[in-house]
Each structure stands twice: as C-alpha cells, then as structure tokens.
Amino acid sequence: MTSKQKWILVLAAMAAFMTALDTLVVTTALSTIQRDLGASVEGLEWTVNAYNLSFAVLLMTAAALGDRLGRRRVFAAGIGLFVVASAACAVAPSVGALIAARAVQGAGAAAVTTLALALVGAAFPPEKRGGALGIFFAVNGLAVAGGPLVGGAITQGIAWEWIFWVNVPIGLALIPLVLRRIPESQGPDKSLDLPGLALVSGGVLGLVWGLVRGNDAGWGSVEVLGAFTAAAVLLVGFAAFELRTRAPMLPMRFFRSRAFSAGNAAIFCAVGGLFCAVFFMSQFLQSGLGYDPLGAGLRLLPWTATLFFVAPVAGKLVDRFGERPFLVVGPLLQAIGFGWIALVAEAGMDYWTLVPPLIVAGVGISMSFPAAQNSVVGSVPEEAIGKAAGTNSTMRELGGVLGIAIGVAAFAGAGGYATPSDFTDGFVAAISVSAGLSVLAALFGGALPSRVGAGAELPAGAAAEG
C-alpha cells in the first residue's frame, strides 16, 4: 500500500469501528437504561429502532451527498454529527430524549458507514480491493466481537452513559486526521437528485417501518399494510424516475449486472441471518443458560472474533480466486453453523457444545462480507463506486431488519420468556430462520459471474444513465 492508501484504510476502518461498536454495546445496557429512565418496553425497543430507521433511510442519501459535495467532507461531517449525538445520548434526561438522540446518531452513522466503504473502494485498484476490504471488515469484526463485551463491562463497572461517552474522544481525534490525510473526491454528478432522494428515502422508511412494527401492530394491521403499500409505490416511483432523469442517484442499469444484483441479494440474506442470530444468541445465553450480560458477551467471542481473523485472509483470496466461491461457501457455512445450533440447543445445556457451530458460522460470514462488497463495487465504473457502496450498505441494513422481524415472529409463535425451556423453543425456531436465510444467500451467490472486474459488465457511461 502507498502511504495515502494506508491512511484512508485506517481512518475509514476506525470511524466504521466506532459506529459498529455503538450499535452493539447498547443492547447489553437496555435493562439498566430501563431502570434508570423508567422506560417502557416500547421505549426500549425504540432506542434501538430509532437508530436503525434513520440509519437505513439515509444510507443512499449520504452516498449521494458524498458524490455531490465531496466524500471526505461528508465523511467528516458524519463523524461530527455522530459525536454530538453520542454526547446527547449520554446526557439524555428521559427515554424520549434518548430516542431522539439515537435517531440523530443513526444519521451520522449512515454517512460514516457509506462513505467509509466508498473511500476504501475508490482508493484501491480492483486487484487489491478485496484485500483492503478484508482488513476493513476485520476491524469491524473487532467491534462485533467487542460490542457485547464492552457494553456489559461498562454498564456493570461504570454507568450506561459511558457507552456513549467513549465515542466522543475517538470522533474528535478522527476528524482532523480525516481532513488532513484523506484527499477529497467526488462522483460524476454535479447536481443533487432531490426527487430521487425523496422517493427512495420515503420508500425505505415505509419498508423499515413496516418490518419494525409488524410483530407489535400485527402484520395484517392497517398501519403495517399501509407502510408496505406506501413503500412499494414510492420505490416503484423511484425506479421509474431514475430511468428518466439525466443524472440518477442510482442508475437502474446497474441491476443488469449479475455481479451487482446477485452480490446485493446475497449479502441482504446473509446479514438477515446474521442479525437474527445476534439478536437471539445473547438472549439465549442469558435466558436459556443463565449467564449475566458480561458472561454472555465473553461467550460470544468464538463466533464474533472470527471476523477479525478470517476476513483479511478471505479478502486476499477473493482477489486471487474471485468472489463467487466465497459467496457460496461462506453463507453455506453460516447455514451449517446455525442449523447445528438449532439441533443441539436446549435449556441448561453445556456452553462448550455451542462453540464448534459458532466458529463455523463465524467463518462463513467472515468469508461473505469482503466477497459481496468486492462484487458490488467491482461491477460498476470507478466514478460510481459511491453509489454502489451506498446501495450495498442499504441492502445490508434492510436485510438485518428483515431477519430480526422474521426471527421475532418465529420466536413468538414457538416459545416465549416464561421459562428457560419456553425461551429455548422460541430460540430454536428463530435460529432456524437464520439458517434458511443463509441458504438463500448461498443460492444468490451462485448466480455471480466467475470473475468480477472493475465495471466489467457495465459501460463507462452507466454511471450517468438510468
């Protein structure tokens, strides 16, 4: 790597680490937040959902703003917004104030995540991009591995407010380094596609709202069906508008590329399976096996830490052998691991029985991340990498929301929280959903071309055409 490439990779990875860590540390602090702020169950749910909603809705917007205003500038602004919102979360006097601050946090995280991937993707040539993305996702793996552990340790040892305060010094240190060490870059579009932004933001909001509210309001309720109907109308309108406009924020021709479409579909399903499993595995260790939050976080390490060790190696191998083998084998390994857990899970079981399948599942998703990202950004012209990264980030987030929603429905239908045995019954149903989504991801991975080049399937002008 050149010095410039090293700085871009390190700073992008550290900023993404900060946002990924914050997503996971909150889950282990919810019980303490409930006691301190007197929050209801619905209030606790929205401390998570407010973040997810603004994050998912604004990913495409952040990518478009980066292309128009400058990727470095929007990236640094996203870090700043995330820092300010983190401080607001830490001093929130009520659960309502905390929910509002979490929504702003999600907006900052959307800019950081999307622009971090775009900056790394643009900084490396296709033959080295997989290795760089492997390192990027390995650093994110530290956040995934350490999130539950850090959250449990801070909440038990200091106070829940400090899970937000830790972001402040990290962000303040990153901003001047980003402005000094990362060169500015922009996409080809000099105009901002405001109608496209409005249509896709409204469509994604309706989709995520319906998924988040489905289990509570009822999947056949007027609220949920109305949200899904509005989402469908707005997203179809977005596609139609993008086909006609001269400077689309997301050229529809991208979806003619098998690498772009299959890569996005595969990671959508793979992350859906992952998020569903993450949501329930920590609870199973506590409600089914009796561990405290810190103990549960420690016992997740054999699963989550694999991303740190496997992703860099997988990224380099993707550069050598292509994306398709890793986006087939990786999700299949995750499916095997989750299916294995579904077969052996029972209340009060020996924890060590879970370690082998957790490792298998962790290796699988660690192989999938760099392969999918490389497939998507490698299938478009270099000037369109920001748009491709924004689309991929949106698909990952939507997949995660969908996976949790389906998993919660399966859990509620098969079990509950009354006893460890009841919880285990629901957990088995939910983790089976994770396995099924992972199998779907492998099927989509099999649709990839044998090799993905830099915009090989799209003409250079595709970035500027619908």
pLDDT at 460 > cutoff 50: no
Whether residue 125 is found in the same domain as residue 211: no
Q: Tell me, yes or no, whether 260 lies in a domain.
A: yes
Whether residue 163 is found in the same domain as residue 199: no
Whether residue 159 is found in the same domain as residue 201: no
Q: Tell me, yes or no, whether 418 lies in a domain.
A: yes
Whether residue 164 is found in the same domain as residue 15: yes
Whether residue 366 is found in the same domain as residue 453: yes
pLDDT at 97 > cutoff 50: yes
Q: Tell me, yes or no, whether 218 lies in a domain.
A: yes
What is the reported pTM?
0.78
Whether residue 319 is found in the same domain as residue 343: yes
pLDDT at 80 > cutoff 70: yes
Q: Tell me, yes or no, whether 434 lies in a domain.
A: yes
421-444 tens-digit pLDDT: 988 999 999 999 999 999 999 999
pLDDT at 397: 78
Q: Tell me, yes or no, whether 451 lies in a domain.
A: yes
pLDDT at 142 > cutoff 80: no
Tokens of 43: 């209030």
pLDDT at 376: 85
Q: Tell me which of 220, 246, 272 is where a domain ends.
A: 246
| Between 235 and 201, the higher pLDDT residue | 235
Q: Tell me, yes or no, whether 466 lies in a domain.
A: no
CA separation, residue 142 to residues 10, 21, 309 (Å): 14, 8, 10
Whether residue 241 is found in the same domain as residue 261: no
Q: Tell me, yes or no, whether 66 lies in a domain.
A: yes
For residue 366, give the CATH number of its domain.
Answer: 1.20.1250.20
223-253 tens-digit pLDDT: 999 999 999 999 899 888 888 887 777 778 8
pLDDT at 337: 96
Mean pLDDT of 122-143: 77
User: What average pLDDT does the chain have?
Assistant: 83
Tokens of 302: 């054999």
Whether residue 422 is found in the same domain as residue 317: yes
pLDDT at 40: 64
Instruction: Fill in the amino acid letter for 115.
Output: L
pLDDT at 70 > cutoff 60: yes
Mean pLDDT of 17-39: 74
Q: Tell me, yes or no, whether 188 lies in a domain.
A: no
Whether residue 265 is found in the same domain as residue 279: yes
pLDDT at 41 > cutoff 60: no
How many domains, in total, are found in the chain?
2
Q: What domain range includes position 218?
A: 194-246
Whether residue 313 is found in the same domain as residue 387: yes
Whether residue 113 is found in the same domain as residue 210: no
Whether residue 203 is found in the same domain as residue 109: no
